[in-house]
């Protein structure tokens, strides 16, 4: 948390699954001077296609799309997006160590954190993540808080981008003049904006949050570690 030397407020984003909609999201964040951590599944390629609320979702071919993520952080999300708590030790190793190794190979930087697929984890999973040098792990249970958290391998986001309280949280964050470090952490999947037709609403939120000289805009790694 080097940023706390100069700032009391930080904003960071965490987006999962590496779908084609990440191209639009990354461009939007770049325009706003914001940083995101993208949690990617290196074992699933562009042949993996599904639908979300009638909209097609296709994973990016990661080795061909490195420039999409330039300036942002890449983190582990499991090689094949498996629910981790049900895996035996060997499969858990493959899922996490395999993803970390492949992402390191593709992007040239070793990931230092992860997001749990489906938010699914247990003590064996967090211990495995720790043993692999992963220092934070994000779940899906929002806490509507900006307070720094002690257990980074059980990290709880402030909110999802579709949270009914998002606008109120933005207002509270912007108005605050905290004495101690505060972190606004927003998570989601970029394909949800297609399915819910709310790219515009999110863009308005980003415009409110952009360009404040008392806010540090960083990746998860920069903000949490
Ligand atoms: Zn996921």
Residue 35's pLDDT is 98
Cα(116) to ligand 1 centroid in Å equals 7
Residue 47 is predicted with a pLDDT of: 87
Direct distance between the N- and C-terminal alpha carbons of the chain, in angstroms, rounded to an integer: 5
What's the CA-to-centroid distance between 190 and ligand 1, angstroms?
11
CATH number of the domain within which 27 lies: 3.20.20.370
How many angstroms is it from 139 CA to the middle of ligand 1? 10
| Band (162; pLDDT cuts 50, 70, 90) | very high
**Residue 209 pLDDT class (50, 70, 90 cuts):** very high
Q: How far away, in angstroms, is 188 Cα from ligand 1 center? A: 9
What is the pLDDT averaged over residues 48-58? 94
* Mean pLDDT on 30-57: 95
Residue 186 CA to ligand 1 center (angstroms) comes to 15
Tell me what pLDDT residue 203 has. Answer: 98
pLDDT average, residue stretch 71-86: 98
Q: What residues have a C-beta under 5 A from ligand 1, the ion? A: 16-17, 117
Q: What is the mean pLDDT of the chain?
A: 97
Confidence (pLDDT) at 216: 98
Q: How confident is the model at residue 149 (pLDDT cuts 50, 70, 90)?
A: very high
Q: Following DSSP, what letter does each residue of 11-51 receive, concatenated? A: EEEEEES-BTTHHHHHHHHHHTT--EEEEE-TT--TT-EEE
Where on the phi/psi map is residue 199: left (φ > 0), alpha (ψ -120 to 50), or beta?
alpha
Q: What distance in Å separates the CA atoms of residue 11 and residue 206, rounded to the nearest whole number?
A: 11
Domain residue limits at 78: 2-224
CA 65, 93, 36 angle in degrees (round to 5)? 35
Is residue 19 a contact partner of residue 195, using CB atoms and an 8 Å limit?
A: no
Q: Does residue 45 surpass a pLDDT of 90?
A: no
The Å distance, Cα 4 to ligand 1 centre, comes to 30
Rounded distance from Cα 177 to ligand 1 centre (Å): 34
Cα 10 to middle of ligand 1, angstroms:
24
- For 117, residues 6+ apart whose C-beta sits below 8 A from its C-beta are 16, 41, 77, 78, 81, 82, 83, 84
pLDDT at position 180 over 90? yes
Cα 78 to ligand 1 centroid, rounded to whole Å: 9
Ligand 1: centre distance to CA 16 (Å): 5
Residue 102: which pLDDT band, with cuts at 50, 70 and 90?
A: very high
Q: For 41-61, what is the mean pLDDT? A: 94
- pLDDT value for 46: 86
pLDDT tens digits along 210-222: 999 999 999 999 9
C-alpha distances in angstroms, 64 versus 22, 68, 165? 14, 9, 37
44 C-alpha to ligand 1 centroid (Å): 12
pLDDT of residue 59: 96
Radius of gyration of the chain (CA): 17
The number of domains in the chain is 1
pLDDT for 112 beyond 90: yes
Residue 7 alpha carbon to ligand 1 centre in Å: 31
DSSP output for 42-81: TT--TT-EEEETTEEEEB--GGG-GGGGTTSEEEE--TT-
pTM value?
A: 0.98
């Amino acid at each position: 948390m080097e940023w706390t030397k100069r700032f009391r407020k930080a904003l960071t984003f965490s987006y999962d699954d590496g779908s084609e909609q990440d191209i639009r999201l990354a461009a939007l964040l770049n325009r706003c001077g914001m940083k995101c951590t993208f949690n990617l599944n290196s074992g699933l390629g562009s042949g993996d296609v599904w639908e979300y609320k009638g909209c097609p979702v296709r994973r990016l071919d990661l080795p061909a799309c490195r420039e999409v993520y330039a300036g942002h952080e890449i983190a582990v999300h499991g090689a094949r997006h498996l629910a981790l708590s049900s895996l035996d030790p060997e499969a858990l190793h493959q899922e996490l160590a395999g993803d970390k190794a492949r992402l390191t190979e593709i992007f040239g930087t070793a990931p230092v954190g992860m997001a749990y697929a489906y938010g699914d984890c247990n003590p064996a999973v967090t211990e495995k993540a720790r043993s692999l040098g992963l220092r934070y792990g994000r779940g899906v249970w929002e806490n509507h808080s900006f307070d720094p958290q002690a257990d980074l391998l059980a990290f709880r986001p402030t909110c999802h981008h579709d949270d009914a309280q998002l606008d109120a949280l933005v207002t509270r964050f912007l108005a605050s003049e905290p004495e101690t470090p505060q972190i606004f952490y927003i998570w989601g999947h970029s394909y949800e904006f297609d399915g819910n037709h709310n790219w515009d609403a999110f863009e308005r939120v980003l415009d409110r949050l952009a360009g404040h000289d008392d806010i540090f805009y960083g990746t998860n790694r920069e903000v949490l570690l």
